[in-house]
Structure 1
């Protein structure tokens, strides 16, 4: 790659827990000599995904090439966070062959796409493609869609009412901006769920976009890297619920970090998370737990009532042992006292 060539950038978007970090971890391991850099955006203050990805670092994507931007959404902090980060990555020696950007699960990709027209970077990078991940099980269950029959009835009564839920708007905007949709968690959805998810996605698409099924983020890098979409030149074809607005705010969502100390019973923590999510109070929980008598850190990942845990690495001597979980929810359902009581037990 010559110094005058543009560095391709792939935007990886998708709702909370769709598998973005799992996909990028796979791409890092299978890049086959391609020098990568990664920007990870966290909605909450506790960095989880960046820590996971730094654990996957290899010579072609060392830890210093993995940058985490926490406590916010890069589609809202372009000038302060995103542009300086991209400029820093472009100054690396050797320069990355490809940059991956993992948005937060609540990000709208179109404002980020517009940022690539900024004078400081527009002649130096190109958006190779926008990859949207969609959780097949969640889409098939209708977690992002309102009750269509009820909506139609209310529209007939009062067409001026905006019936789209905040979840539906985020999901629809992420699909509308895509050059490729990866349908994840297909092993959990089953054939009927996959068919239902494909139908729901097709109903939202304004242009023909390929949809590929995968499990555990496993996909040939040649499929997702090298699309050559130059998406920054095709913004008008990617409609958004927020077109014409000066700012994109996340007033509908919020997050807190719950400190649980050491825990003795991981299964009990999983049960408490499932019970909390089953009431509809939270969208996403992720973080790390210290288990009494265990030298390894327990990684906790929950999407709705679906909870997964695994021991990912030894606790370092320079970090305090403890359990910290970031909880993301719709703002009107995020009661810190109730959530802390439910999780701590």
Structure 2
């Protein structure tokens, strides 16, 4: 079977809160007649991103064409989860013409690209392109960059110190695997910061990769789809910090779920989450909560202390209105203290 006959797949990767789900939703809403499917992966036990996509009622991507994998990192569960998910989509009565795969914010994309060489799927699908979404404001603030001078000074004081930064490694691996980089939230950057971040991205990648800017993760689907990279055949050009490892884990990060009570004032729960994030250096928060007297659920998403909230859709008849918040941070989070801070219990 030739590459032309294979179903193209676009891998959407990027760090926590960069805007991957918003980008996928925008592509679905502007598919240009394409029949699309989505595989969305979460780091943690609750699939918030899949719920966001399934609730949008987009004709080009019916609910049965959205597959949610919430049992860990997609690239660590290829045989058990990813391959069966692909095979299920390809077996639909109307199989997709293009598949979008949204990784978790902590995923290393290269192992997922390698999975496309598995015999069970190698003749049926191809990686049309790896799209890495970058939170421009976070990178401009130096969230993923070590200070080399400070590091050098500390090493001189104590050579036994280990200053590996797992956040930076994940971020760099996502850049190194990309065929297209989306510098999202460009409206939060001034011109100097925008050009500085683009320069830093280009300097980190040993090959030419186009960087496009976006506001609110809105890009023409034709920019993202149809790259025709066949990335699974181009692995040598995509170096990774983890190339020498047979497998990887996510022990550097913790994730847990907080059950949220119904709230009277959305501003109160947002303020609590923001304060807990500041006190405990939380990386990412996302979830839903019921607001008294409101027929719609409140969606809350945060990257660090930058929180956004909106009423995203009505509660469905018979649907549980139990609020839930996923919290993600580096290993060592004080779960009990964060739960108390957020719920007031």
Range class of TM-score, shorter chain: over 0.9
SS at match of 2:256: strand
Match of 2:229 in 1: 229
Shift of 1:277: 1.7
2:248 corresponds to 1:248:
yes
Alpha-carbon distance between aligned partners in 1 of 2:213 and 2:114, rounded to the nearest angstrom: 28
Distance 1:330 1:121, change over 3 A: same
Alpha-carbon distance between aligned partners in 1 of 2:321 and 2:21, rounded to the nearest angstrom: 24
Match of 1:335 in 2: 334
Distance 1:3 1:19, change over 3 A: closer
Whether the 8 Å contact between 1:146 and 1:164 is mirrored in structure 2 is no
Matches within 5 A, 1:17-166: 17-154=17-154, 163-166=163-166
Alpha-carbon distance between aligned partners in 2 of 1:174 and 1:198, rounded to the nearest angstrom: 15
Runs of 4+ in 1 over 4 A off after TM superposition: 154-162
Distance 1:280 1:138, change over 3 A: farther
Alpha-carbon distance between aligned partners in 2 of 1:192 and 1:264, rounded to the nearest angstrom: 42
Whether the 8 Å contact between 2:29 and 2:60 is mirrored in structure 1 is no
Alpha-carbon distance between aligned partners in 1 of 2:155 and 2:3, rounded to the nearest angstrom: 55
Alpha-carbon distance between aligned partners in 1 of 2:35 and 2:269, rounded to the nearest angstrom: 39
Whether the 8 Å contact between 1:140 and 1:200 is mirrored in structure 2 is no
Match of 2:278 in 1: 278
Match of 1:15 in 2: 15
Whether the 8 Å contact between 2:37 and 2:61 is mirrored in structure 1 is yes
Shift of 1:134: 0.4
Alpha-carbon distance between aligned partners in 2 of 1:126 and 1:75, rounded to the nearest angstrom: 16
SS at match of 2:116: helix
Match of 2:175 in 1: 175
SS at match of 2:189: helix
Alpha-carbon distance between aligned partners in 2 of 1:236 and 1:213, rounded to the nearest angstrom: 27
Alpha-carbon distance between aligned partners in 1 of 2:268 and 2:192, rounded to the nearest angstrom: 32
Count of paired positions: 344
SS at match of 1:250: coil
Alpha-carbon distance between aligned partners in 1 of 2:7 and 2:155, rounded to the nearest angstrom: 47
SS at match of 1:126: strand
Match of 1:210 in 2: 210
Alpha-carbon distance between aligned partners in 2 of 1:155 and 1:205, rounded to the nearest angstrom: 27
2:314 corresponds to 1:314:
yes
Shift of 1:54: 1.3
Computed over aligned residues only, the root mean square deviation of the Cα atoms, in angstroms, reads 1.9
Alpha-carbon distance between aligned partners in 2 of 1:232 and 1:217, rounded to the nearest angstrom: 26
Please list every run of 5 or more consecutive structure 2 residues that lacks an aligned counterpart in the other structure.
none
Match of 1:288 in 2: 288
TM-score, structure 2 normalization: 0.95
TM-score, structure 1 normalization: 0.95
1:228-276 deviation line (CA, Å, top 9, x unaligned): 1000001011111111211110000111100121111211111111112
Distance 1:228 1:4, change over 3 A: closer
1:27-68 deviation line (CA, Å, top 9, x unaligned): 001111111010000112111111111123433211100011
